Amino acid sequence: MLMRPSGVRSSGSRPPSRPSPARPGTVPVSQLPVRQGVRLAVDVGSVRIGVARSDPGGVLASPLTVLRSGPGALAGQARAELARLAAGEGAIEIIVGLPTSLSGREGAAAVGAREFAADLAGRLAPVPVRLVDERFTTTEAHGALRRGGKDARARRQVVDAAAAAVLLQAALDTERSTGRPAGQLVPASNADSGSTDSGSAGPGNEAGA
C-alpha cells in the first residue's frame, strides 16, 4: 500500500482555510482599548448595599463586601463608607445598578438608585459614576450561588455583593466589546440626578480615567 508523505494533500482534499482579512477601518475586538484601573460596582438595596471590585486590568469582577444601609442616618453612613472604600481602592469609576422592569420602565427603586448615584458622584468627583441597567443581575447571582451549594439563608448574606459582581462583569465585557464605557454618566451635581448622557465618551476621556 502506498503511503502519502506527511504534509502532502490528496487531489480531492481542500486547502486549509485561512482567516478572512479584516475590512479596512475595522478593529479586532481583542485590540479595542480598555482603560486600566480598578472599578467598583454597587447593587443598591434598602437594607444592604452590595459592592464588587474589578482587577486593575479591568478584566474580571468579584464580590467585595456588603454594607449595611437603611433610612436616614444609616443611608448616609453607607454612602460615606462607600466613598471611603472607593478612595481606598483607587477606583477609576463606580458603576451603580439601575433597577428597571422587564419592559424597561423605571419605578421607585430606579428613582432611589438615581438619587444614590447622584449623591455618590458629588462625593467622588472627579471620579466618574455611571448607571448601568441591572435587570436579571440578582436572579443570576442567586443562580450562581445556588449552583455553588449555598442554601437560601447563606445566599441572603452575600447575594447583594454577588449581584454587584454580575453587574460589573457585564459592564467590563461591554467596554471590551465596544471600546466605550457602559451605561450613563451621572453628573457630579446633585441638582439634577436624572440628567445622563448616552455613554458616548471614549476610554480615557473621562475625568479620573
State the burial class of residue 73 (Cβ atoms within 10 Å of its Cβ: 0-12, 13-18, 19+): exposed
At 175, is the secondary structure helix, strand, or coil? Answer: helix
**Mind listing the pLDDT tens digit of every residue in the chain (209 residues)?**
444 444 444 444 455 555 455 555 544 545 567 789 999 999 998 889 999 999 999 999 999 999 999 888 888 999 999 999 999 999 999 999 998 767 667 778 889 999 999 999 999 999 999 999 887 565 554 455 455 555 444 445 568 888 899 999 999 998 999 999 999 999 986 444 343 343 433 333 343 33
The domain segmentation of the chain, as residue ranges, is 36-101+110-185
A 10 A CB-CB count for 62 gives 14
Grid cell in block for residue 89: 481602592
Which of 160, 167, 156, 75 shows the shortest CA–CA distance to 130? 167
By DSSP bridging, strand 39-44 and strand 93-98 are parallel
The span from the CA of 92 to the CA of 207, in Å, is: 9
HSE-CB at 72 with a 13 A cutoff on CA atoms is 1
The CATH-assigned architecture of domain 36-101+110-185 is: 2-Layer Sandwich (3.30)
